[in-house]
């Protein structure tokens, strides 16, 4: 609250960024209205899925590794508000084939953050992980402090909570333009005003805020949902998240556990595509994922494909969040690639602090970009 007066805030986009920003502001007593171009939640949003990985190891991106303990804390605050914990700490196992510059700084971060980890002897891999192709393995690292968040369940519960708190949820309300100086938006020819407007439009963000074109690129990423063959079903039913970090693979698999399907994808950004394009992944979209997964897993041809789809996220060159003031009364948020979900409630809590004047714009921009020398202090509880 600025001088005791609740702010009126318009949020554009009802993905995890928009919804958690609405949560952070409404729990501080501000009046929030969320405008979403499609249904809420929107199945074509980056945030819409059965599961997302969260973890502490971040390679050389130590700024983000250092934020992870606070990100875990704020998820717990959110789950307490929701009355349900949509997270399963299944752990993560990283499979490496040859040297990777990721390992050393990640181990340093895990040590610094006191996150338990251990090397898995390569001889144990066939017994413990019969789905993994052991060829060329040089390191296998198993860490705690990692697991699966369940985005669709989180967003459904958040939507109910926000509506109970009086947050305006406007589905099928595409924002055609934003005037960040006046804090107004136009929707279907109508101009709507507030004290602050925050644009959290995911891979569409550069359409509303053209200056973002220089910073982020929407990237079409294919994923497939699979049913493992019966002989591997038991192993998958107790599997952690699996990440194959070898250069030729760079793929991940989320296990079919806790009411979700198994999902595979890879970490190679396409940096192309239009988020309004059809979302059925073509064979061309899927081929790089299949190639990655075939290298990482044994007997990939025995898995049944249940669904394939193309999703979009934004890619920033250094894989940083963009949180910037725009005009006199606006903000824009863009999450970055594959770590936008796990950090989002923390980042939007920081943004809420800047919006209400608890910290300045430069501080929140640097902090959200993962600069290690900036700290916003304790997270909201």
Ligand X SMILES: Cc1cc2nc3c(=O)[nH]c(=O)nc-3n(C[C@H](O)[C@H](O)[C@H](O)COP(=O)(O)OP(=O)(O)OC[C@H]3O[C@@H](n4cnc5c(N)ncnc54)[C@H](O)[C@@H]3O)c2cc1C
For ligand X, the binding residues (CB under 6 A) are: 12-18, 35-38, 42, 45-47, 52-53, 174-175, 200-204, 208, 221, 223, 265, 311, 313, 335, 338-342
Nearest distance from residue 5's CB to ligand X, in Å?
A: 27
Nearer to ligand X, 344 or 380 (CB): 344
Q: Is 330 helix (H, G, I), strand (E, B) or coil?
A: strand
d(CA 168, CA 159): 10
Phi-psi region of 203 (alpha: psi -120 to 50; beta: other; left: phi over 0): alpha
Residues facing residue 325 across a β-bridge: 331
Nearest to 301 by CA among 247, 246, 228: 228
- Listed in sequence order, the DSSP H helices in the chain are 16-26, 62-82, 103-113, 125-128, 151-164, 205-208, 230-237, 283-296, 340-355, 361-368
Nearer to ligand X, 233 or 306 (CB): 306
**How many other C-beta atoms lie within 10 A of the C-beta of residue 156?**
15
**How many other C-beta atoms lie within 10 A of the C-beta of residue 108?**
14
Nearest distance from residue 28's CB to ligand X, in Å?
A: 20
Nearer to ligand X, 197 or 232 (CB): 197
Nearer to ligand X, 7 or 281 (CB): 281
Nearer to ligand X, 145 or 265 (CB): 265
Nearer to ligand X, 228 or 275 (CB): 275
**How many other C-beta atoms lie within 10 A of the C-beta of residue 102?**
18
Nearest distance from residue 38's CB to ligand X, in Å?
A: 5
Nearer to ligand X, 233 or 280 (CB): 280
Nearest distance from residue 71's CB to ligand X, in Å?
A: 9
Nearest distance from residue 230's CB to ligand X, in Å?
A: 27
Nearest distance from residue 235's CB to ligand X, in Å?
A: 21
Cα of 341 vs its chain's centroid, Å = 2
d(CA 234, CA 221): 29
Nearest distance from residue 265's CB to ligand X, in Å?
A: 5
Q: Is 332 helix (H, G, I), strand (E, B) or coil?
A: strand
């Amino acid at each position: 609250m600025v001088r005791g007066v609740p702010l009126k805030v318009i949020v554009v986009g009802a993905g995890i960024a928009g919804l958690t920003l609405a949560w952070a502001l409404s729990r501080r007593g501000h009046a929030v209205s969320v405008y979403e171009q499609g249904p809420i939640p929107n199945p074509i949003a980056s945030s819409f899925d059965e599961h997302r990985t969260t973890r502490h190891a971040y390679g050389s991106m130590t700024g983000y590794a250092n934020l992870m303990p606070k990100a875990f804390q704020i998820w717990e605050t959110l789950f307490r508000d929701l009355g349900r914990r949509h997270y399963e700490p299944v752990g993560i196992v990283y499979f490496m084939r040859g040297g990777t510059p990721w390992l050393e700084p990640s181990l340093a971060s895990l040590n610094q953050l006191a996150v338990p980890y251990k090397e898995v002897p390569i001889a144990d891999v066939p017994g413990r992980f019969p789905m993994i192709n052991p060829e060329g393995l040089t390191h296998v690292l198993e860490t705690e402090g990692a697991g699966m968040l369940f985005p669709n369940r989180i967003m459904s519960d958040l939507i109910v909570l926000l509506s109970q708190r009086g947050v305006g949820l406007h589905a099928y309300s595409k924002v055609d333009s934003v005037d960040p100086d006046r804090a107004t938006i136009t929707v279907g020819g109508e101009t709507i005003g507030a004290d602050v407007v925050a644009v959290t439009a995911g891979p569409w963000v550069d359409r509303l805020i053209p200056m973002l074109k220089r910073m982020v690129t929407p990237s079409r990423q294919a994923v497939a949902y699979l049913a493992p063959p019966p002989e591997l079903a038991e192993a998958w039913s107790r599997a952690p998240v699996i990440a194959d970090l070898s250069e030729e693979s760079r793929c991940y698999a989320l296990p079919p556990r806790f009411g979700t399907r198994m999902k595979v994808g890879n970490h190679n950004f396409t940096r192309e595509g239009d988020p309004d394009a059809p979302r059925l992944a073509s064979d061309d979209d899927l081929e790089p994922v299949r190639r990655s997964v075939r290298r990482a897993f044994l007997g990939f041809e025995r898995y049944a494909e249940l669904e394939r789809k193309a999703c979009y996220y934004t890619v920033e060159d250094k894989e940083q969040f963009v949180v910037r003031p725009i005009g006199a009364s606006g903000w824009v948020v863009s999450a970055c690639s594959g770590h936008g979900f796990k950090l989002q409630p923390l980042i939007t809590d920081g943004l809420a602090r800047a919006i209400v004047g608890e910290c300045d714009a430069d501080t929140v921009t640097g902090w959200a970009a993962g600069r290690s020398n900036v700290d916003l202090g304790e997270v909201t509880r």
